[in-house]
Structure 1
């Protein structure tokens, strides 16, 4: 293998982000903002701290991003009834149509990236990458337990 798998995966992810960002330039939504919106759809009412950990950005970076998404009318902060210092994040009604459009964009990018692969090869590729992710995820969990 001429390149290490880690380099190939990282470089491919970078190229995915660049292709996605180019297609969503007019919407003003970046790939990272799309990830934030997607996680908020999966975990409505999540606090900023755990969300920052999920997307692996500094809390201040996420806070600024949430500010921009709130200004765009896509996200709202609601007071946490159990902790008056904390905010719970929720998508607004305006976010769902945008998420649908962004999913279509992502599907188009994946189609472009996997051009020339048949359905079986695409499924195999997804399964293999999922196994790599699961392996790394298990190691991350083990490492966290060891340091706790």
Structure 2
């Protein structure tokens, strides 16, 4: 029987969970829930994306994202604008008002990542990132619509 401490999936899940706990602790003083900081983080990299695409990226239901965006919009941190190419769709943007919070979020995320990787050399960190990117790419190819395992 395989030792669960050596199982790749379990280990990856545990590391991700511990990272989320670290982020949660650092984001709580900013008044952000995990869901809110995750939406803001994804928008930082995907600003102007369609609301439906953002829901897919976050792996949450469209209605759930809609409620999260309502809360972030009420704080003045995001704005939804009509998509010029599809009047049914909305695109989501960060506002200038959230910029100070985003700076702090990015700093605290960097601190969390630095702590998590502290025991690895720079070379080991680069190698790990390279391997994880390869695995993510392989899995995206396998499980994306039309991928070789999409119909399994």
The interval holding the TM-score normalised by the smaller chain is 0.7 to 0.9
Query: For 1:96, which of 96, 99, 103 is the aligned residue?
Result: 99
Note the residue ranges of structure 2 that are not aligned, 5 or more in a row: none
Matched residue, 1:16: 19
Q: How does 1:49-128 map to 2 (within 5 A)?
A: 49-128=52-131
Is the Cα–Cα contact under 8 Å of residues 35 and 68 in structure 2 kept in the other structure? no
Instruction: Report what 1:36 is aligned to.
Output: 39
Report the TM-score, using the length of structure 1 for normalisation: 0.87
- Report the Cα offset of residue 36 of structure 1: 1.9
* Inter-partner Cα distance in structure 1 for 2:22 and 2:47: 28
- Partner Cα distance (2:47, 2:142) in 1: 28
How many matched pairs?
146
Distance 1:87 1:68 in 2: 16
Residue segments in structure 1 that go unaligned for 5+ positions in a row: none
Distance between the aligned counterparts of 2:136 and 2:35, measured in 1?
19
Q: CA deviation at 1:128?
A: 1.4
2-structure distance, mates of 1:81, 1:120: 45
State yes or no: 1:145 paired with 2:136.
no
